[in-house]
Amino acid sequence: MLSEEILSWVTAAVGGDARVATVTGLREQANPWLVRFAPAARVEAAVLRLGDPTDPEHRRRFATEVAALRLAGDHGLPAARLIATDLDGAAAGVPAVLTTVLPGHSRIPPVASPERLRGLGATAAALQSVPLTPRTALPRRTRSIADVDFAAQRREKGTTALLAEAEDRLSRLPVPEGPTVFVHGDLWFGNTLWSGDRCTGLVDWDCAGAGPPGIDLGSARFDAALMFGLPAAEQVLEGWQRAANRRAGQVAYWDVVAALGTLADMAFCVPAPHDQGRTDLDAGILGQRRDAFLGNALRRLDATGLSGR
């Protein structure tokens, strides 16, 4: 499953008399990997993320992940701690990042309590409390999953009237001014860990950077609407505003940005919630919920005078 070169790097990083006991795939039974050690190891388990040494994009994303985890650790945010890194693959044979294991799980329940939804909002608010100037490994972000050009993919694969309208209207509006803060860049329930209704951590930081706080808030609201229906997004907003002790600005704008991180056919994202236990969700349900969320955001843009028309 893992090469001897990788396993040797992992055991050397852990130190002591560490011996790899088991390796389990965490996403669709594959990378990243949960590595458990024999009792003699100084740590019981670690999470191993591997990249493609032939792909420069993997190295860039790993550098972002490492920089984000270091910054999160400096500010006491709920993130794993780094054990070892090999960004160029010189020791492990492939780019590799080894981190501690956070408590909790990322399984998404069929029904979310208000406490869980507000907890997601509060987690997004914790990030926005960290001011951040863009830098090489944590660049300027203006939307979630910034390295995927969803607009180009829609032009190639087809779009819908609603998505086209939203894209056109957003192109006529300036990015709202405001503080530049630490953003996760891919904040959805599958990238959070939970113990009961308490968020215990954030994972998958390779889209992180510096940007407006609305990026993570919009992403969290959109995912809540996809997973649980439109009213859930308002609970996320309530949790964010309670934790931040202020009203969120330009919510409708960032909701549109979040919804535009999709394709016309929502089948492309079905495997992700299925992997987190939500096998009840299909492309049809997700498409209906996306459109309800996006339509609502566009109406609220009109109400605030930011219609882009």
Q: What are the pLDDT digits (tens) for 72-107?
A: 999 999 999 999 999 989 999 999 999 999 999 999
Please name the amino acid found at residue 281. L
Helices 114-128 & 214-228 angle (0-180, nearest 10): 160
pLDDT tens track for 235-292: 999 999 999 999 999 999 999 999 999 999 999 999 999 999 999 999 999 999 999 9
Does residue 32 have a cis peptide bond before it, meaning omega lies within 30 degrees of 0?
yes
Q: Please tell me what DSSP assigns to residue 269.
A: G
CB 241 within 8 A of CB 249: no
d(CA 262, CA 158): 12
**Among 262, 270, 93, 127, residue whose Cα is nearest residue 201:** 127
What are 33's strand-pairing partners? 25, 48
pLDDT at position 41, please?
A: 61
CB 91 within 8 A of CB 213: no
What is the pTM assigned to this prediction? Answer: 0.93
- CB neighbour list of residue 135: distance below 8 Å, 6 or more residues apart: 67, 210
Please name the amino acid found at residue 288. Q
- CB neighbour list of residue 150: distance below 8 Å, 6 or more residues apart: 260, 261, 262, 263
Rounded to the nearest 5 degrees, what angle is found at the Cα of 204, between the Cα atoms of 201 and 206? 135
The tokens of 281 are what?
A: 């969700």
Q: HSE on the CB side for 6, CA within 13 Å? A: 19
What's the alpha-carbon Rg for the chain, to the nearest Å? 20
Mean local confidence (pLDDT), 52-76: 92
Rounded to the nearest 5 degrees, what angle is found at the Cα of 256, between the Cα atoms of 266 and 304? 150
pLDDT tens track for 159-211: 999 999 999 999 999 989 889 999 999 999 999 999 999 999 999 999 999 99
Which residue matches tokens 């969700």? 281
> 59 falls in which pLDDT band (50, 70, 90)?
confident
